[in-house]
Amino acid sequence: MMRWREQQVMHVRTCGFPTTGEYRSLLEVLRGISPVVQALPPGAALADVRGALGYFGRSAGELAELVRLRAVALLGLDVRIGVASTRVVSAMASAWAPLSGGVVVVEPGQVERFMAPLPVGLLDGIGPKQAAALERFGLATVGQLVTTPEATVERILGHRAGRMASERARGVDVRRVVPADLPASACVRHRFDQDEHDGPVVRAALLQLTVGLGAMLRERRQVARSLGVEVRVADRSRWEKARVLPEPSALTQDLRDVAYGLLDTAGLQRARIRGLALRGEHLVAVETASRQLSLDTQREAGVLVEQVGDRINARFGPGAVRPAATLRAGAVGSDRLRAGGDEDPRKWL
């Protein structure tokens, strides 16, 4: 019998790479089942469905099947769903579900038997490097990790990571599902192949970052209230600064003007630059943002051109249409542009 205070966590992950519109629609499908939905972009989400069990008169597994059916029927989006009483077990269950989509339910009494044969690389919170470190010591499965003293795991991974790994291997996870929509910030970043001191090349790379950030925000139907630039220099020092936009925007030309202004204030003309990060902050839905009427016909023409460019890029792929300045030798290419959600760009730079 399930205790009322126990979560019933549904971890949903898409089988492919959904567009932002598809992802938003998937979140709405989940909110049709439970109001406690936590977005995990770009393609996963959590839902605590314990309050929905009595309302729908169905088990958590049956609700998961209902979510999967609605996702396929309404969105044409196949999903893999794991259901358990903790986040870590539900995430591993969804990862272990059939690749073509399916539902895996792990009851509280089945946690040890379910998790023991799984590879440590599937353990939620364990990265590839940590998994490789455990495997070098013969700890290839979650079951082997459980039987290893916690002190030994801490010596391999470090105190904090080792303790977390040992707890999650046993299915212990105190994290709750917290209602959250798409992140309130977005970041794109670039690392140069070699330290760069050519100003035009750096500005071309920053321009391409503004193009990428603007496209990401417009696809999400979000606008940024402020913009931040971070520069990583060869001596491992960092310079960063943010500025409030004149009005919330996701237009490339608005982001470009502010980004260039921020970079100019850095005074890094002679610095050897290793990487750049551009971050949109205080994001809000475009429907909620006010916009002043503009009599600038050149700007309005630029808006129309950008809308056409978005349609072309959506059909033929990112980068099909982009500013000519980004083609400068050494400028960031599509294979070197990294985009993220609410994470700290320092982790990448």
Mind listing the domains of the chain with CATH numbers?
A: 9-169 (3.30.70.270), 186-347 (3.30.1490.100)
What angle (nearest 5°) sits at the alpha carbon of residue 180, between those of residues 120 and 223? 115
Q: Sorting pLDDT into bands at 50, 70 and 90, what band is 106?
A: very high
Quick one: which of 335, 349, 343 has its CA closest to 42? 343
Residues 6+ apart with CB under 8 A from 31: 37
Quick one: which of 45, 171, 199, 52 has its CA closest to 112? 171
Q: Hey, is 236 helix, strand or coil? A: coil
Residue 84 has pLDDT above 60, yes or no: yes
Contact 230, 279 (CB under 8 A): yes
119-129 b/e (C-beta count within 10 Å ≥ 16 → b): ebbbbbebeee
Q: Hey, is 18 helix, strand or coil? A: coil
d(CA 61, CA 326): 50
Q: Sorting pLDDT into bands at 50, 70 and 90, what band is 237?
A: confident
What are the DSSP calls for 254-307, one per residue?
A: HHHHHHHHHHHHH--TTS-EEEEEEEEES-EEGGG--------HHHHHHHHHHH
Q: Which two tokens stand for residue 340?
A: 């993220």
Residues 6+ apart with CB under 8 A from 345: 187, 189, 230, 277, 279
Quick one: which of 60, 58, 57, 38 has its CA closest to 47? 38
Q: Sorting pLDDT into bands at 50, 70 and 90, what band is 291?
A: low
Tell me, what's the pLDDT at 296? 63
Q: Which helix (H) or strand (E) holds 115?
A: helix 111-115
Q: Which helix (H) or strand (E) holds 224?
A: strand 222-233
The 10s digit of each residue's pLDDT in 170-220 is 999 888 998 877 777 888 888 888 888 778 888 889 999 999 899 888 888
Q: Sorting pLDDT into bands at 50, 70 and 90, what band is 4?
A: very low
Residue 50 has pLDDT above 60, yes or no: yes
- The mean pLDDT of 107-132, rounded to a whole number, is 89
Residues 6+ apart with CB under 8 A from 246: 254
Tell me, what's the pLDDT at 134? 93
